[in-house]
Amino acid sequence: MKAYKRNLDAIDHTQNRYEDKQFLHMHPYDPEILETVRDDFLKPRTCKEFIEWIDTHPHYDVVAEASSQYIRGTSKAQAFWQVADIDADWQTINNDITNYCVENEVDTKFNTDYTEEWRIHEMEEQKTYVPFRHNSELDNQRKHGFEKQYQLIEVTLTDVFPMLKRIEKLFEFEWAKTDINYQPTSGAFPRHVDFLSTGFKRAVEHDPSIANARYNPLTKCPDGWVLKRILIPTDHWFPGQMFSFEEHNWTDWSPGQVIDFNWAHCRHATANTSYNARPLVKITGLVKEDHWIAKGEYRKFSI
C-alpha cells in the first residue's frame, strides 16, 4: 500500500476567517441543518477520505456539533471515568511547568488566536505534528467572546519535561502526543466535542493500513482502533476551576489522577475562575481494541 500524504497547501482556509460573516453560524445551531450535516457525516468513508472531507469542509464547527450523538440523561460514568493513578513527584513536575510558564510569559501573554500564535512552539518546530484547530471553530469561539481559552505546551516537541515523557510511555499509545493544557486564570474554553485529529492525521499519513481503514462515524475512530485522550492534573484542584462533561462535572481533582472521557460525543468545557493556573497533562493516541484502557480497566503506576 502506498503512504497517503495530505496536501496541506491545497486547503483553502480563506472562507473560514471571521471577517467573512457569511460562513459563521448562530447558536443554537439550526436543528435541521445539524441533521443534514449529521447524515453526511455518517456516510461511509475511509480514514483518508474522512480527513480530506473534514480538512476542506468550510463549516468544521457544524460538523463537530453534528458528530455528537450524546443524549441528555446519559450517566456520569459514561461521560468520564478514572482509568489510573500515577504515584510520582508531582510537586517537582508542577514546579517545572510553573517555571516554564513564567519564563515563556504563558500567563501574561494569554490570548487564544490562530494556531501559529496560541501554541508555545513555533510552527516550524511542529512539522510532523500539524496542529489541528480548524479556523471556523476558532472563529466562532472568538466571535462569542472566547478569546482566552488555554495555552498548549507541546511536551512531545521538547526535552524540557522528561518525566512527562516517561508518563506518556506508561500508557503504550501508538502515535502518542503529549501536551500540557495550561489554563491561566480567566481562561474559558467553550463546550465542544473532539476529533483528536492531530494524532489521527499523523497515523493516516504514515500508516497506509489506517489510511485505508473504514472511519467509524459513531466511534469517530478507525475500524479496529480506539482513539484515546487521557487527562492528568499536575496540581490540586482550586475553587473556581471548572471542567464539565455535558450535565456532569469533574471537580476536586488531585495530581496523578488519570481521567478518560467520552471525547467523541460529550460536549466538554473548561473555565478557570480561580486565582491559580490549571495545568493538565493531555496524552492522545491510538490503541487497539484489546488494550487495557480500551477495555475500561484500571491501573496503578509508580515512577
Q: How far apart are CB 24 and another protein at their closest, in Å?
A: 11
Name the one range near another protein by CB under 8 A: 69-77, 97-105, 171-179, 182-190.
69-77
Sign of CA dihedral 172, 174, 125, 113: negative
Q: Which amino acid is at 207?
A: D
Minimum CB separation from another protein for residue 73, in Å? 3
Rank residues 8 and 218 by Cβ distance to another protein and give the closer one: 218
| 74 counts as binding another protein under rule CB under 8 A | yes
Give the H/E segment covering residue 62: helix 60-67
Rounded CA separation 151/184 (Å)? 8
Single out the residue of 202, 94, 205 nearest to residue 153, CA to CA: 94
Q: Is 145 in the site for another protein (CB under 8 A)?
A: no
| Cα end-to-end span (Å), the chain | 40
In the complex with another protein, the residue whose CB is nearer, 18 or 70, is: 70
Name the DSSP letter for residue 2: P
Residue 78 CB, shortest distance to another protein, in Å, is: 5
Q: Whole-number minimum distance, CB 296 to another protein, in Å?
A: 8
Are residues 69 and 284 in contact, defined by beta-carbon separation less than 8 angstroms?
A: no
| Cβ distance to another protein smaller for residue 43 or 236 | 43
State which residue, 137 or 179, has the beta carbon closest to another protein. 137
Residues 9-38 that bind another protein (CB under 8 A): 26, 28-35, 38
Neighbours of 10 (CB within 10 A): 9
* Closest-CA residue to 46 (of 178, 177, 209): 209
Spatial distance between the Cα atoms of 252 and 46, rounded to a whole number of angstroms: 41
Q: Which is closer to another protein, CB of 81 or CB of 238?
A: 81
Is 218 a binding residue for another protein by CB under 8 A? The answer is yes
- With cell 488566536, the residue in question is 113
In this chain, which of 6, 18, 78, 158 binds another protein, going by CB under 8 A?
Answer: 78
Each residue 226-265 as x (binds another protein by CB under 8 A) or -, in order, gives: --------------------x---------------x--x
| Helix, strand or coil, per DSSP, at residue 134 | coil
* Nearest distance from C-beta of residue 267 to another protein, angstroms: 7
- Give the DSSP H/E element, type plus range, for residue 72: none
Q: Which residues bind another protein (CB under 8 A)?
A: 26, 28-35, 38, 42, 68-75, 78, 218, 246, 262, 265, 267
